[in-house]
Amino acid sequence: MPTNLVVFYLFALAAVVGAAGVPMSKNIFWSAMGLLSALVGVAGLYVLLSADFLAVTQLLVYIGGVLVLIIFAVMLTSQIKEIEVSNQNVGLVSGAILFALTGTLLCFVAIWAPWKVVLLQSHETTTDIGNGLLGAWLLPFEVTSVVLLATLIGAIVVARKEIKED
Amino acid sequence: MTIAAAQIVALSPLLMITGVGCLALLLDTMAKGRAPALWLAQLGCVAALLAVANQWMGSGSSQPIWSGMLIVDRMALFLDGVLIIAALATLLVAAPFMREHEFEHGEHYALVLFATAGGMTVVHATHLLSLLIGIETMSLAAYLLVASWRRQPAGAEGALKYLLLGAFAAGFLVYGTALVYGTTGGEMSYAGIAARAARAADNPLFIMGAYFLLTGMLFKIAAVPFHMWAPDAYEGAPTPVTGLMASGIKVAAVGGLVRLLGSAFANPGLALGHAGWVRVLGGIAFATMTWGNLAALRQENVKRMLAYSSIAHAGYLMIGLVALGQKVDGAQPALLVYLAAYAATTLGVFTVVAWVGRRDDERLLIRDWAGMARTRPAVALAMTVLLLSLAGVPPTGGFFGKFYVFRAAMQSPDLAWLVVAAVLNSLVSVYYYLRIVVAMYFRDPVRPWQPFPSVGMAIVLFVTVVVVLALGVVPRPVVELAAGGLVTHW
């Protein structure tokens, strides 16, 4: 087996096992660790696809930012007294059935589909992405800023203390 | 890539709503009190309506914007108008409602406008990316609006369910987009997908992608089996926001579906089992209206009942989509008429629900509405008209909306069973709508009535009732407006 393939399966395994661990672990800290494994696995897959910018962004934003924040929130929240049972699994049976159905369907489609195999041409993508965002894709890029603004404002509305007006 | 001035003008309604949303935020921090931001937001809506009218008069033909990412045509302008009016009505009702319930904040007005801007992007979208971003803008603002009533524990619960399932739906949309992009050789514009669909349809990944896109959109219109979030979110949201969700957001999502299914996946050669998504959507339409109506029968809470009723209406709307898929002439304008009538009716109904509740006495159960006709005969009458419109009784707009959609569907012999099922469903729905009417007219009041006086709510209620009755008596002008939306070429 070529090294590339071995590395691919390693990363894929990390992603899948980690993702499964998030809902299945009873301890919320281990759920966060599962998320870490899933995100690192996906970042590795990006590297294998020579999506360098995406891989670095995944590391910086999701692992460096979001995940660290989640872990801090878990550790610092005084409300979670019994960390052991903080993550209750509900609807295990229906979830398993749904998973079996969609999983089978996805595997079936993946095997059945005529994949087009092309050789990877590794080149740096950051320049293209930057030009794209300020060129052909400027409009969606700008609309995304409205999404972020709305989210920011809304997060403040939901999180702030109630202000009584006099 | 240069931006032509004509494109800016063509997009002016959307730009106005977005810009006024940002300005309202700024004004809210600088001005004293909440009134200036509210006035600015309302003025912005009126100005955007004028801009829509200007576009309508100005150009007869459709105009692609930004190399086909958005389009400005009659259908989009028609739905723009409906969306902006829904936002204006929501603003008018939300201000007194928030004052009464003591959670007034200026960001609310901006979020209503952002949700509307997202919805407008959706109905203009002719590209999977702009569809996705529009849906996300609309949904994120909606999640936050639902959560904004913080003293209401049901609000947080509803918002969380809405957020989690909505995020899941967004995942479906993105996954579907990726699969379609990959299997059509890098196409995301509807025209491009339609051009390559026939070849790509042999690839199961493409079919999967198409169904994933459909799933993501069906989440947004709360079709069965993707409706689970709706009753909780509708119940927990501040009532004016519920009105916006049931009218504006549903209108935008259906408008997005009309474009997506009418252009990108309109190719009859598209595999998906010969009849393709048309048959699947027909089944979902049947399940949605039946489940929505049967569940509504058992509800005691008015808001939950209306949530299930809104699910049932999504089912009727999907009949129009199925007819569109069967290439029935006039399916699209029929859907637009239905959407306009339904939006007006829903806004009116939720205005009454918002008006009835006081801070210490929400009056959300049907039995709390007993005896309303004695102290407030005008409002009881208005509510009766609106409920009859929801049930589809003539001479109301709701009747004509349903009539046009069903008539369009009847042109295709394959859809006769669906129309029969829908008519039977409408009969069932009369029962639970009339429960409220019976409570208002024939029961003795349990507690004294003291709804709060509000000019804004009175205006919205009056206008919606007039519109609903006008649509029922003289539907021609709106039908012609909607038919103007037919002149599109994607």
Is the model more confident about B111 or about B359?
A: B111
The distance of A155 to chain B (nearest Cα, Å) reads 7
Of A90-99, B15-24, B42-51, B241-250, the poorest mean pLDDT is in: A90-99
Backbone angles phi, psi at B281, to 5 degrees: -65, -35
| Mean pLDDT of all residues in B198-218 | 88
Are residues A71 and A1 both part of a single domain?
yes
- Partners of A154 on chain B (C-beta within 8 Å) are 107, 111, 140-141, 143-145, 147-148
- Return all residues near B174 (Cβ < 8 A) that are at least 6 apart: B132
Closest CA to A44 of A76, A94, A6, A92: A6
Would you write out chain A's pLDDT as a tens digit for each of its 166 residues?
788 889 999 999 999 999 999 888 877 788 889 999 999 999 999 998 888 899 999 999 998 888 888 888 877 875 655 555 555 666 778 888 988 999 999 999 989 888 878 777 778 888 999 998 888 888 888 889 989 999 999 888 888 766 554 4
The H or E element spanning position B466 is helix B455-473
Return the bridge partners of B125, or none.
B70
Q: Where are the alpha helices (DSSP H) in B201-247?
A: 204-220, 229-236, 239-244
Q: Does A149 touch chain B (CB under 8 A)?
A: yes
Residue with tokens 């979020």: B111
Partner residue facing B144 (CB), from A109, A157, A162: A157
**Peptide bond connecting B225 to the previous residue in cis, omega within 30 degrees of 0:** yes
Amino acid making up residue B353: V
- Geometric angle at alpha carbon B346, from A150 and B112, rounded to 5°: 15
Closest CA to B276 of B359, B211, B352: B211
Q: How many CA atoms lie within 13 A of B74 on its CB side?
A: 19
- What pLDDT is stored for residue B204 in this prediction? 86
The dihedral over CA atoms of A124, A129, A130, A134, expressed in degrees to the nearest 10, equals 160
- What pLDDT is stored for residue B272 in this prediction? 55
- What pLDDT is stored for residue B5 in this prediction? 81
- Return all residues near B153 (Cβ < 8 A) that are at least 6 apart: none
| Mean pLDDT of all residues in B82-96 | 95
Are residues A76 and A133 both part of a single domain?
no
| Mean pLDDT of all residues in B29-47 | 91
Q: Is residue B488 part of a domain?
A: no
Q: Is residue A71 part of a domain?
A: yes
- What pLDDT is stored for residue B76 in this prediction? 92
Q: Does B199 touch chain A (CB under 8 A)?
A: no
pLDDT of B197 strictly over 70: yes
Q: Is residue B388 part of a domain?
A: yes
- Beta strand B63-65 with B70-72 is antiparallel
The distance of A142 to chain B (nearest Cα, Å) reads 10
CATH value at residue A55: 1.20.120.1200
C-alpha to C-alpha distance for B104 and B94, rounded to whole angstroms: 9
Neighbours of A81 (CB within 10 A): 8
Among A22, A56, A84, give the residue marking a domain's end: A84
The distance of B148 to chain A (nearest Cα, Å) reads 6
pLDDT of B489 strictly over 90: no
pLDDT band at B17 (very low <50, low <70, confident <90, very high): very high
Are residues A70 and A136 both part of a single domain?
no
Q: Which residues of A103-141 are buried (b: 16+ CB within 10 A; e: fewer)?
A: eeeeeebeeebeeeeeeeeeeeeeeebeeeeeeebebbe
A150:B67 CB<8 A: no
Among A24, A58, A84, give the residue marking a domain's end: A84
Residue B184's SS3 state is coil
pLDDT digit string (tens) for B228-282? 899 999 999 999 999 999 999 999 999 999 999 888 888 655 545 445 788 889 9
pLDDT of B60 strictly over 70: no
Are residues A79 and A26 both part of a single domain?
yes
Q: Is residue A130 part of a domain?
A: yes
Q: Is residue B165 part of a domain?
A: yes
pLDDT of B488 strictly over 70: no
Are residues A14 and A79 both part of a single domain?
yes
Among A60, A84, A108, give the residue marking a domain's end: A84
Q: Is residue A8 part of a domain?
A: yes
| Mean pLDDT of all residues in B57-68 | 77
- What pLDDT is stored for residue B8 in this prediction? 84
Q: Is residue A98 part of a domain?
A: no
Cβ-contact B144, B115 below 8 angstroms: no
Are residues A5 and A74 both part of a single domain?
yes
Residue B64's SS3 state is strand
Neighbours of B291 (CB within 10 A): 18
C-alpha to C-alpha distance for B259 and B257, rounded to whole angstroms: 5
Q: Does A99 touch chain B (CB under 8 A)?
A: no
Q: Is residue B34 part of a domain?
A: yes
Q: Is residue B95 part of a domain?
A: yes
Print the domain residue range for A161. 123-166
Chain mean position to CA B20: 22
Closest CA to B131 of B63, B67, B188, B83: B188
Q: Is residue A89 part of a domain?
A: no
Are residues A138 and A76 both part of a single domain?
no
Q: Is residue A64 part of a domain?
A: yes
Among chain B residues, CA nearest to A133: B1
Are residues A25 and A75 both part of a single domain?
yes
- What pLDDT is stored for residue B82 in this prediction? 96
**What whole-number percentage of chain B has pLDDT above 70?**
96
C-alpha to C-alpha distance for B386 and B462, rounded to whole angstroms: 11
- Partners of B148 on chain A (C-beta within 8 Å) are 154, 157-158
Q: Where are the alpha helices (DSSP H) in chain A?
A: 3-24, 28-48, 52-57, 68-76, 92-112, 126-133, 138-159
- Geometric angle at alpha carbon B32, from B30 and B35, rounded to 5°: 105
Q: Is residue A2 part of a domain?
A: yes
Query: How many structural domains does chain A have?
Result: 2
Q: Is residue A38 part of a domain?
A: yes
| Mean pLDDT of all residues in B322-338 | 89
Are residues A56 and A1 both part of a single domain?
yes
**Which tokens belong to B100?**
């009464």
pLDDT band at B490 (very low <50, low <70, confident <90, very high): very low
pLDDT digit string (tens) for B267-311? 655 545 445 788 889 999 999 999 999 999 999 999 999 999 999
Q: Is residue B14 part of a domain?
A: yes
**Which tokens belong to B376?**
């407030």
Query: How many structural domains does chain B have?
Result: 1
- What pLDDT is stored for residue A85 in this prediction? 54
pLDDT of B53 strictly over 60: yes
Of A111-115, B320-324, B418-422, the poorest mean pLDDT is in: A111-115
- What pLDDT is stored for residue B15 in this prediction? 93
Print the domain residue range for B201. 5-483
pLDDT band at B487 (very low <50, low <70, confident <90, very high): very low
The distance of B370 to chain A (nearest Cα, Å) reads 34
